[in-house]
Amino acid sequence: MKLGFIGTGVISDAVIRGLLSTDYPVSEIIVSRRGREFSQKLAAEFDVVWVEDDNQAIMDAADMVFLAVRPQIAEKVLSGLKAPGNTQIVSLIATIPIATLQGWISGGTSFDRAIPLPSVAHCNCVTAVYPGSTKVVALFDMLGGAVAADTIDAFDGYAAGSALMATYFEILENAAQWMVGQGSDYADARRYLAALFAGLADNTLKSPDQSFAALVEGHSTPGGLNEQVAQTFMREKGGAAIHAALDDVFARIKAASGDS
Ligand SMILES: NC(=O)c1ccc[n+]([C@@H]2O[C@H](COP(=O)([O-])OP(=O)(O)OC[C@H]3O[C@@H](n4cnc5c(N)ncnc54)[C@H](OP(=O)(O)O)[C@@H]3O)[C@@H](O)[C@H]2O)c1
């Protein structure tokens, strides 16, 4: 398999490093010279990576081409490109619909969208894909797993869900600051909470048959401290805040996609 990357930045770098740490059968990876720092480093580190100045040459050479430029410049960079008939296109570009990409790029056998996160570099991120061509799902399976969305709304729902990352850290920061208020050292509180949440995430992954609701119950002794905190959180509208935040970001994704 020959892979191409148009836009060699943070996320392309993560996908490439992740793939090259696995057995994924790749014979060549052709990356756009821009961004220069990423492409030079990748080519220097890996024999299978080579750098190309011309984006059309990447289209011509690769079996699967990843589009990973920023949305603001996507039309300018991609318009007029021609994909040979058997090329699979995988867009990592946020919000741009497949129909719009097909207006810019002619040819190609299939177009997919995907939302890999930087932790694909360590093969521990599940990537949402749409519609989920077999080869694209297989590739992201190597990077930690893939979930294929049946509809664009479901796919945009994953995009909204991925926007919870900063909120996760807000919860930890608020908890750490509260513990500091009780006299704890910040570094100790940080270490304690990071390990607590990492352990919970690990247990969750190891018990795939348990819903989150079941895990809430499993971690709530009746009349105990965890039950009390969860009840206060919900009473203070923590659950409603999460729903409102996801509704808002979903609406923003739809508006940016021209689908509102
Ligand atoms: N970062 C994430 O976590 C993440 C996750 C999922 C999806 N995405 C999506 O992936 C895309 C890239 O994100 P990113 O974070 O990787 O951004 P990034 O680090 O800015 O990478 C984009 C790259 O595109 C290059 N570029 C600019 N003009 C180009 C051209 N004419 N031809 C080829 N390459 C060109 C830029 O090079 P210069 O530096 O020379 O301008 C830059 O290195 C975005 O659409 C984003 O929505 C990102």
Residue 248 Cα to ligand 1 middle (Å) = 25
Phi, psi (deg, nearest 5) at residue 126 = -90, 125
Amino acid at 233: F
Compute the distance between CA of residue 123 and CA of residue 27 in angstroms, rounded to an integer: 20
Which domains, ranges and CATH numbers included, belong to the chain?
2-149 (3.40.50.720), 165-256 (1.10.3730.10)
Residue 260 confidence (pLDDT): 61
Cβ within 8 Å of residue 26, ≥6 positions away? 1, 2, 3, 19, 20, 48
CA nearest neighbour of 71 among 91, 93, 92, 102: 93
Residue 226 confidence (pLDDT): 97
Residue 152 Cα to ligand 1 middle (Å) = 22
Nearest-CA residue for atom 37 of ligand 1: 35
pTM value? Answer: 0.94
Residue 160 Cα to ligand 1 middle (Å) = 20
Extract the residue ranges of the chain whose pLDDT is less than 50: none
* Beta pairing partners, 196: none
Please, what's the b/e burial string for 204-213 (b: 16 or more CB within 10 A of its CB; e: otherwise)?
Answer: eeeeeeeeee
Mutate-to-test residue for ligand 1 from 5, 6, 8, 11, highest number of ligand atoms within 8 A of CB: 11
Residue 204 Cα to ligand 1 middle (Å) = 32
Residues in contact with ligand 1 (CB, 6 Å cut-off): 6-12, 32, 34-36, 38, 55, 68-71, 73, 77, 92-94, 115-118
Strands 82-83 and 127-130: unpaired
How close are the terminal C-alpha atoms of the chain, in Å? 38
Q: Would you state the structure tokens that stand for residue 60, as one six-digit string?
A: 């011509």
Q: Report whether the peptide linkage leading into residue 35 is cis, meaning its omega lies within 30 degrees of zero.
A: yes
